[in-house]
Amino acid sequence: MTSNTRDYIYIYDEESHKIIVIDGETGEEIDQKEDRVTSLLRYFSEEGETAKLRKFAIWCAHQTNRELKPIQAKMLDLAEKAVYGKADTPQLETLYQKTEGTAVATNTVGLQHGSTNAPAFLATRECVNPDPYQGALQAARFHRLWADLVARETSDEESAQKSYLREMEVSAAEQTIQNTEQKQIDRLLDLMNE
C-alpha cells in the first residue's frame, strides 16, 4: 500500500489551533491516528510531565529551524522558561494569542505553497501552547510535515535532473517520515530516562 503525500493539503485550523490534513483528490480530512509518538506524548500527559512535553516540543522546533527569526527566538526563550517554572500559563497564552495572525498567514502563504519555513514557524509556536500536551503533539506533526517537505524539495530537484528518480520519490518521502518518527521516539525515550 503506497500513499502519495504529494496530494495532501495542509490547513491550519484557527479554532482548534492544529493542522488538518486533507486528501487533495477526495477533499476528505485524513484521520491522524495515534501512533508510537502520540501514545508516548499521551503517557507523559497522563503522568503530568509538562516539562518533558515542552522539552520535546522545543526539540522538534530546533530540528525544523536552521535560523531563528526574532519572534521564534522569543517563543523558544519563553518555552524554556516554562520548562523550569520561570514562566506561567498566562504568559504563554499571551504570546500564543499574539502570534495567531502570523500562524494563519503562515498557513495561507507558506503551507499552501509547500514552504519548509511554514511548519518550522508553526512548530516553534507550539512550544508556547498553553496546553503542553497539545503543543508537543502539534510540534511533532509540524516536524514530520517539515521533514516531508524537505524530502520532496530534495526529491524534486533530483527528479528534474534524472527522470528515473520520479518512481522512487514516494518511497523516499515515506522513509523520511519514518526516520523522523524514529528520531522523535528516540528523543521521547531519552526524556523518559531523565
Distance CA 79, CA 126 (A): 9
pLDDT digits (tens, 9 = 90+) for 138-159: 999 899 989 988 887 776 555 4
CB-based contacts of 187-192 (< 8 A; 24+ apart in sequence): 187/56, 187/59, 188/37, 188/40, 188/41, 188/44, 188/56, 189/40, 191/44, 191/49, 191/52, 191/55, 191/56, 192/40, 192/44, 192/52
Task: Tell me the whole-structure pTM to 2 decimals.
Answer: 0.76
92: in domain: yes
4: in domain: no
26: in domain: no
pLDDT of residue 96 exceeding 90, the answer is yes
pLDDT class for 57, splitting at 50, 70, 90?
very high
Stretch 58-82: mean pLDDT: 95
Domain count of the fold of the chain: 1
Stretch 52-63: mean pLDDT: 97
- Confidence at residue 55, expressed as pLDDT on a 0 to 100 scale: 97
Exposed / middle / buried, residue 49 (Cβ in 10 Å: 0-12, 13-18, 19+): buried
Q: Specify the range with the lowest mean pLDDT, choosing from 40-44, 69-73, 131-135, 161-165.
A: 161-165
Residue-range definition of the domain harbouring residue 185: 34-192
21: in domain: no
